[in-house]
Chains A and B, each alone.
Chain A
Amino acid sequence: GAVVSQHPSRVICKSGTSVKIECRSLDFQATTMFWYRQFPKQSLMLMATSNEGSKATYEQGVEKDKFLINHASLTLSTLTVTSAHPEDSSFYICSAPQTGRHEQYFGPGTRLTVT
């Protein structure tokens, strides 16, 4: 149980375009999901908290207009990287705890390359 999926696993896009990444909890409901970013050979950094039915909250230094988050249902959160630039190239990972519990389960990640 507690499986989180992400789609796509890998995406290449041109500079200036937008890319949407989906995060799904497959066998549990998640009122909250989290988005992280990991640069090569570095640790994971929390970007934002996605809340079902309300606005996302962003960590300091993360541009909310660039990284649009929508949590439309109890099993789906999406992250849209708008007007992508090469410096946005990174590994994006989502996580979700089961509602009412603290342990977080992570998706397999999405590797974004902006050319």
Chain B
Amino acid sequence: GIQVEQSPPDLILQEGANSTLRCNFSDSVNNLQWFHQNPWGQLINLFYIPSGTKQNGRLSATTVATERYSLLYISSSQTTDSGVYFCAGGGGADGLTFGKGTHLIIQP
């Protein structure tokens, strides 16, 4: 199966800072998603982005499928952005393989 690597594993920033989270995957994927896991464990869908660029408010994501990586950008960070961010990839109709996550802490 595919391997998904996320970096950095931990990130501590001041409120208002920008950040970039990276996801590398070992093989082509037809499904690439970014999630934010809240303190209660719920996975919040951020982006479905097997290729291209999308933006949603202060968040945006870019996937370069030919080079097998995806980036999640968070601008003007707020304390509520804290938590674990996962990327996950799969073959389309398959279950997802998750990276180990980036633990983001935004300090006031």
Contact B97 A46 (CB under 8 A): yes
Q: Is the interface of A mostly helix, strand, loop or mixed?
A: strand
Contact A43 B96 (CB under 8 A): no
Which residues of chain B have C-beta atoms less than 8 A from A109's C-beta? 41-42
Contact B33 A103 (CB under 8 A): yes
Q: Which of B40, B41, B93 has the most CB of A within 10 A?
A: B41
A79 at the interface (CB under 8 A from B): no
Q: Which of A34, A49, A91, A106 has the most CB of B within 10 A?
A: A106
Question: With A102-B31, A103-B33 given, is the CB distance from A49 to B95 under 8 Å?
Answer: yes
Closest to B41 in A: A109
B45 at the interface (CB under 8 A from A): yes
Q: Count A-B pairs with CB separation below 8 Å.
A: 55
Which residues of chain B have C-beta atoms less than 8 A from A91's C-beta? 41
Query: Could you say which of A34, A45, A93, A103 contacts B43, with CB atoms under 8 Å apart?
Result: A93
Number of contact residues on B: which range applies?
Answer: 20 to 34
Query: Could you say which of A45, A46, A104 contacts B33, with CB atoms under 8 Å apart?
Result: A104
Number of contact residues on A: which range applies?
Answer: 20 to 34
Alpha-carbon distance between A6 and B96 when the two chains are bound, in angstroms: 19
A32 at the interface (CB under 8 A from B): yes
Alpha-carbon distance between A103 and B93 when the two chains are bound, in angstroms: 9
B30 at the interface (CB under 8 A from A): yes
Closest to B50 in A: A102
Query: Could you say which of A44, A49, A103 contacts B45, with CB atoms under 8 Å apart?
Result: A103
- Shortest distance from the beta carbon of B31 to any chain A beta carbon, whole Å: 4
User: CB-defined interface of A88-115 with B at 8 Å, one 1/0 digit per residue?
Assistant: 0001010101000011111011010000
Closest to B40 in A: A108
Alpha-carbon distance between A44 and B4 when the two chains are bound, in angstroms: 12
The 7 closest A-B pairs by CB, nearest first: A46-B95, A103-B48, A106-B43, A102-B31, A34-B95, A109-B41, A43-B98
Interface CB pairs A-B, < 8 A, 11: A32-B93, A43-B86, A43-B98, A44-B43, A44-B96, A102-B30, A102-B48, A102-B90, A102-B93, A103-B31, A109-B41
